[in-house]
Chain A
Amino acid sequence: MFAHTFRDADRIDREIVPFLPPRLADLVAGLPPDVKGRLEELRLRVGRPYAVLLAGEEHWFLGGRGLVRDPGAAVRASAEDGERLLAAISRSSVYALEAELRHGFVTLPGGHRVGLCGETVVESGRPRTLRYVGAFNIRIARAVPGAADRVLPHLIAPGGRIRHTLIVSPPGCGKTTLLRDLARQISAGAPALGLRGTTVAIVDERSEIAACRHGVPQLDVGPRTDVSDRCPKEHGIVQLLRAMAPRVLITDEVGAATEAQALRDAIHAGVSIIASAHGTDWRDVAQRPALTPLLDGGVERAVVLSRRRGPGTVEAVWDLTLPSPRPSTARGHMPARTVVSMS
């Protein structure tokens, strides 16, 4: 646990501090290691106090001698601080960031993500770029190796095939973290589970699973993993199937019918799929018409997450291949039996 904290604190010093404007860099570098280790967000809003968010929803401001509760006692970000931060994250080349400014974030080495907002330049009704950036949100990326340890054994079919799986949870329950670690373990192989490493492809439309920078994953997604970064899912899925010949295809936040259809095509092409979907519980997801092609089309396992005991709590893993013993409300998708209930 402590080793963890110190490694995280060290990462802040190496990967975040060099990008910060001098005043902020000193303040952040001077924080105690346990605070650095729990840092989740660092916010710079021009003209307003520097704010930080620590793990466990702890909101603080940055004062001259550490964290303070009172915004009046905090250090304020100047316009020059904002400009220096933008220069540092763009390598003094704001013109090279046009696409990033349009998407609203820049990924730093290490997978940390800087969200941006400000005055938007609109061209024919669509945002083209940002003229002035008024607020920055630096979000610290943390891979959680081992997040999939409890789930993975239930997703392996006899013979080592990965079962088609849907991960269901409300936001903030660790879907993306789970997907990332599944990718890593399936790609690397898990000898203890009789799983040999195999080729994995990730369609990372929101750039959150692998946190690619210049097309290179910044977080560990395994040695045999290819990532299609920021590509709309329905295109990315087809493209990766054709180009990279994956055995397992992983994607995030399936919602539209076209995406579900593309995943179904992948299943027909003989590729194992692991996808996630927003939803408060299984019933909620099963009732969504857009997901029917997927649920009818061979998904075998459903993993339900919650944050009852912190993010990443596995509520249950459902076996969807068993016939339903009772008439169901949800188009025949009421899970018949829990493979494993973690509650």
Chain B
Amino acid sequence: MARGLGAALVLAAAGMLGAIIARAYQERPRALRALQSALAMLLTEIVYGATPMPDALDRVARRTPAPVGRFFAAAASYLRAEPGAGTAQAWRRALADPPGWCLTADDEAVLADLGNCLGRSDAADQEKHLRLALAQLQRLQAQAEAERDVHVRLWRYLGAGAGAALVLLLY
């Protein structure tokens, strides 16, 4: 009885571990897509609306679901707290404490580069930087989708398979 229960627990735990890793692969393309639509909104606010940065970030945050929306909300609140420090610093602080998204270091590097330019130049220049970041994120998304297709199933099977192997070994 106890052996059966233990075996079931080992199986479940390994399966769950596999599922968690698989989930990260599933979530990343989703987060990247949300990020792209958020940046597209920011572009509209900046280039066509000439909305001041704290308000623009807030509007984007309100219209973007968590966790990506939380990132923009954090950047906006840092910017409001210290208006003289500039967008770059607020953006860096928000990035330093990511809102629990499944982005990789590559993805965050694109955001970090963008943050250094945000709000510092005229509308035409801002558009250039935002379009560059959007193009990079699109490329990363294609890559993330390819990885997802391979890894999601792999990690699920690997989790379940490793659990089964462990049960066989132990008992």
A: residues with CB less than 8 A from B are: 18-22, 83-85, 87-88, 90-96, 98, 101, 121, 129, 131
Contact = CB atoms under 8 A, between A and B. Distances in A.
A82 to B, nearest CB: 12
A131 B123 CA distance: 11
Contacts of B119: 87, 90, 92-95
Nearest to A121: B122
Interface of B: 46-47, 50-54, 56, 79, 83-87, 90, 118-123, 125-126
Nearest to A101: B122
B155 to A, nearest CB: 42
A87 B47 contact: no
A94 B122 contact: yes
Given A95-B122, A98-B50, 8 more contacts: A87-B83, A88-B84, A92-B79, A92-B86, A93-B119, A96-B50, A131-B121, A131-B122
Contacts of A21: 84
A101 B120 CA distance: 13
A5 to B, nearest CB: 27
B156 to A, nearest CB: 45
Nearest to B46: A95
Contact of B121 (A84, A85, A91, A94): A94
A142 to B, nearest CB: 24
A80 to B, nearest CB: 10
Nearest to B54: A91
Contacts of B56: 93
Contacts of B122: 94-95, 98, 101, 121, 129, 131
A95 B126 contact: yes
A87 B56 CA distance: 15
Contact of A91 (B46, B53, B123): B53
B123 A92 contact: no
B86 A95 contact: no
A19 B123 contact: no
A95 B122 CA distance: 4
B85 to A, nearest CB: 7
Contacts of A93: 46, 50-53, 56, 119
A237 B47 CA distance: 32
Interface centre among A94, A95, A98, A131 (most CB of B within 10 A): A95
12 contacts: A20-B84, A87-B83, A87-B86, A93-B46, A95-B46, A95-B50, A95-B122, A95-B126, A96-B50, A96-B52, A98-B50, A121-B122
A91 B52 contact: yes
A95 B53 CA distance: 9
A96 B87 CA distance: 14
A95 B87 contact: no
Interface centre among B46, B52, B118 (most CB of A within 10 A): B52
A18 B51 CA distance: 21
Contacts of A90: 52, 119
A182 to B, nearest CB: 34
A92 B76 CA distance: 11
A81 B29 CA distance: 40
A323 B63 CA distance: 71
A306 B54 CA distance: 46
B83 A91 contact: yes
Contacts of A18: 83-84
A169 B19 CA distance: 82
A87 B80 CA distance: 12
Interchain residue pairs A-B with the least CB separation, the first 7: A87-B86, A88-B84, A95-B123, A92-B53, A92-B119, A93-B53, A91-B52
A52 to B, nearest CB: 20
Given A98-B122, A121-B122, A129-B122, A92 B50 contact: no
Contacts of A129: 122
B51 A87 contact: no
Contacts of A83: 86, 120
A87 B91 CA distance: 14
Given A87-B119, A98-B50, A92 B126 contact: no
Contacts of B125: 95
Contacts of B86: 83-84, 87, 92
A87 B84 contact: yes
Nearest to A22: B84
Contacts of A91: 52-54, 83
